[in-house]
A and B are shown apart, each in its own frame.
Chain A
């Protein structure tokens, strides 16, 4: 990594502790990613982004801030990036995916809170993530009880704005979400000092749709009989989508897809003939959480899709681009975002329909439903997911895990047994 110590120091970060993270990451990335053979050349861009994860992008954001641009830190798929970019701001995803930040989070949060929340709060409070240190404002949402209360704690340390997501999907809930987006738009105008216009919002909708289309194109390759790219690599790209510059990300991902097209023509695939195809479902896998993909793909599985925020949910629906008025666009945004099927909604039967559809589209042999420890919503919903999939004749394995690596052997046994069962 280039030398970013001055920048980190200026951000008020705890350099000594942060060094430990910087030392651990290359080893982990090397073990999980660089050990793969036959990777597409286009992955070198994403390798670079990870190798400079706390350097190159934060430096860009700080440069933008020097020109007066505001950075909005977000934690959830429901927060519309389009509005931030339309106001001349930059949105960047912030979910923490490493055990490294959990102990700091546990200083202020109960132990029985999901690791994603603990890591996210911990990363801010112990000053070991430049993204958390540089963001001008944090945008929370009401997607679970743990997060709702965590925002209150985070707001004691940084400016936080919370969007109120409805819990049902009736017409009045979609309308309520449109109102929330309007209020958020006013907030982005206040923070940036810029006016959101029909033109700027239309451009931002196109920008973010472009990113979704690129990811959709990428995931299309995973539906093929022998995908030209690993599930692990696709997960990494999905994770980077949250915080990379959207224009560059879209360009690089489309470039990678061009290479993948050529690979398909040349008959190049990354999996073995007998590898079973798994669809992962459940809670998000924030960077650098690569644990389950690594276990599965080194046990002889092909992970062909993720029904998760870091996966298909992120790009599955596009925003209608035919609207011309600001109000029309905001309604279109609300409609698109309310199509995401998160376990925070009740009922949420459309999620099971999604999973069944993805099983068909991605030709999955089985589903692994993975829940982060203490995520009550996905854990409780897991019962219904398993039941309905089994009734539909789809083999499913439910797993619970966190960011620790100590259960790797147990997860290996469970995934290994599931694959043996699929092969028998």
Chain B
């Protein structure tokens, strides 16, 4: 068996592949927790409780906590793993948008391999964290935020900084703007920033959203309209990093 663990900043994802390196035996997700090593142990415990014997499994870890997993045989960066995972899931060359909790990655795939990549500047603007903070401020879940945004319009969040954007939202709410309009402004801010990051990248005409935001049809549509390109995703895309790690584990020698 081959196990890929993606230790992200908000969630830990795992994909367990069968001995053939193709059949997905299990996908798991856990909240990231405070300590990567503890979360990794919990993930292993969960899989073992489900009856999987991991003693002989090859393990590859990825994500920002990749170096803190004691039972991993190797650590590989999120970029290579998302590239690999999307390549398996989607089967076409494309530009991968991974809006992660800690950073946003734009990855060009050519012949199934990473040809080029770009990441956001080292701040929360344009990342999943930005959306999370804003959803919290509005007192809704991420899913509900997208639902609200669809019905809203007309608001622009101008602050580049997440902290300032939060107070901007508070004043917008104070001035009587609806939650729908504010949610719209929040989502537009992400779409704008990530699209700008793509613009500096070698642009393809096909995009694929991987990671935790894969299930928002609304975001996908707004990206398609802004990038003027086809934007795909899949429900399993949340696990693309972990899948890529498991595939790399299956290719390890020895």
Q: Which residues of A contact B (CB under 8 A)?
A: 383, 390, 395, 398, 400, 407, 409-410, 413-414, 416-418, 420-421, 424
Contacting B77 at CB < 8 Å: which of A390, A395, A413? A413
A-B contact count, CB below 8 Å? 42
> Interface of chain A, helix or strand or loop or mixed?
helix
Contacting B114 at CB < 8 Å: which of A390, A398, A413, A417? A417
Contacting B64 at CB < 8 Å: which of A400, A413, A417, A421? A413
User: For B113, what are the chain A residues with a Cβ–Cβ distance below 8 Å?
Assistant: 421, 424
Contacting A421 at CB < 8 Å: which of B78, B103, B114, B119? B114
User: For B122, what are the chain A residues with a Cβ–Cβ distance below 8 Å?
Assistant: 400, 407, 410
Inter-chain contact B121/A416, CB cutoff 8 Å: no
B194 within 8 A of A: no
Contact A424 B121, CB 8 Å, known A413-B77, A417-B77: no
> Interface of chain B, helix or strand or loop or mixed?
mixed
B202 within 8 A of A: yes
A409-B122 Cα distance, complex, nearest whole Å: 11
Tell me the nearest residue of chain A to B78, going by C-beta. Answer: A413
Inter-chain contact A390/B78, CB cutoff 8 Å: no
The 3 closest A-B pairs by CB, nearest first: A417-B79, A417-B77, A420-B80
Contacting A410 at CB < 8 Å: which of B80, B103, B118, B200? B103
Beyond A416-B77, A417-B80, A418-B117, 6 additional contacts (C-beta under 8 Å) are A413-B103, A417-B78, A417-B117, A420-B77, A420-B79, A424-B113
User: For A407, what are the chain B residues with a Cβ–Cβ distance below 8 Å?
Assistant: 122
Chain A's nearest CB lies how many Å from the CB of B148?
32
A410-B77 Cα distance, complex, nearest whole Å: 11
User: For A416, what are the chain B residues with a Cβ–Cβ distance below 8 Å?
Assistant: 77
Inter-chain contact B202/A414, CB cutoff 8 Å: no
Contact A409 B77, CB 8 Å, known A383-B200, A421-B114: no
A390-B108 Cα distance, complex, nearest whole Å: 13
User: For A395, what are the chain B residues with a Cβ–Cβ distance below 8 Å?
Assistant: 116
Which of B78, B116, B121 has the most chain A CB atoms inside 10 A of its CB?
B116
Which of A383, A409, A417 has the most chain B CB atoms inside 10 A of its CB?
A417
Tell me the nearest residue of chain A to B119, going by C-beta. Answer: A414
Contact A424 B119, CB 8 Å, known A390-B202, A413-B78, A417-B78: no
Chain B's nearest CB lies how many Å from the CB of A373?
9
B142 within 8 A of A: no
Chain A's nearest CB lies how many Å from the CB of B116?
7
Inter-chain contact A420/B76, CB cutoff 8 Å: yes
User: For A417, what are the chain B residues with a Cβ–Cβ distance below 8 Å?
Assistant: 77-80, 114, 117
Chain B's nearest CB lies how many Å from the CB of A263?
32
Chain A's nearest CB lies how many Å from the CB of B26?
26
Tell me the nearest residue of chain B to A414, going by C-beta. Answer: B119
Tell me the nearest residue of chain B to A398, going by C-beta. Answer: B118
A417-B78 Cα distance, complex, nearest whole Å: 8
A395-B114 Cα distance, complex, nearest whole Å: 11
A407-B64 Cα distance, complex, nearest whole Å: 12
A190-B79 Cα distance, complex, nearest whole Å: 59
Q: What are 13 A-B pairs with beta-carbon distances under 8 A?
A: A390-B116, A390-B202, A398-B118, A400-B122, A410-B103, A413-B78, A413-B103, A417-B77, A417-B117, A420-B76, A420-B80, A421-B115, A424-B80
Which of A390, A410, A421 has the most chain B CB atoms inside 10 A of its CB?
A421
B101-158, CB < 8 A from A? 103, 113-119, 121-122
A407-B114 Cα distance, complex, nearest whole Å: 23
Chain A's nearest CB lies how many Å from the CB of B120?
10
User: For A414, what are the chain B residues with a Cβ–Cβ distance below 8 Å?
Assistant: 119
User: For B64, what are the chain A residues with a Cβ–Cβ distance below 8 Å?
Assistant: 409, 413
A398-B80 Cα distance, complex, nearest whole Å: 17
User: For B121, what are the chain A residues with a Cβ–Cβ distance below 8 Å?
Assistant: 400
Which of A383, A413, A414 has the most chain B CB atoms inside 10 A of its CB?
A413
User: For A409, what are the chain B residues with a Cβ–Cβ distance below 8 Å?
Assistant: 64
Which of A398, A409, A410 has the most chain B CB atoms inside 10 A of its CB?
A410
Contacting B79 at CB < 8 Å: which of A390, A398, A421? A421
User: For B79, what are the chain A residues with a Cβ–Cβ distance below 8 Å?
Assistant: 413, 417, 420-421
Chain B 73-103, CB-CB to A under 8 Å as 1, else 0, gives 0001111100000000000000000000001
A424-B64 Cα distance, complex, nearest whole Å: 21
Chain A's nearest CB lies how many Å from the CB of B249?
15
B196-211, CB < 8 A from A? 200, 202
Chain A's nearest CB lies how many Å from the CB of B217?
29
Chain A's nearest CB lies how many Å from the CB of B207?
19
User: For B114, what are the chain A residues with a Cβ–Cβ distance below 8 Å?
Assistant: 417, 420-421, 424
A417-B93 Cα distance, complex, nearest whole Å: 18
Which of B114, B117, B119, B122 has the most chain A CB atoms inside 10 A of its CB?
B122
A418-B77 Cα distance, complex, nearest whole Å: 9
Contact A421 B202, CB 8 Å, known A390-B116, A413-B64: no
A417-B122 Cα distance, complex, nearest whole Å: 16
A414-B113 Cα distance, complex, nearest whole Å: 16
User: For B103, what are the chain A residues with a Cβ–Cβ distance below 8 Å?
Assistant: 410, 413
User: For B78, what are the chain A residues with a Cβ–Cβ distance below 8 Å?
Assistant: 413, 417
A417-B64 Cα distance, complex, nearest whole Å: 12
Tell me the nearest residue of chain B to A415, going by C-beta. Answer: B77
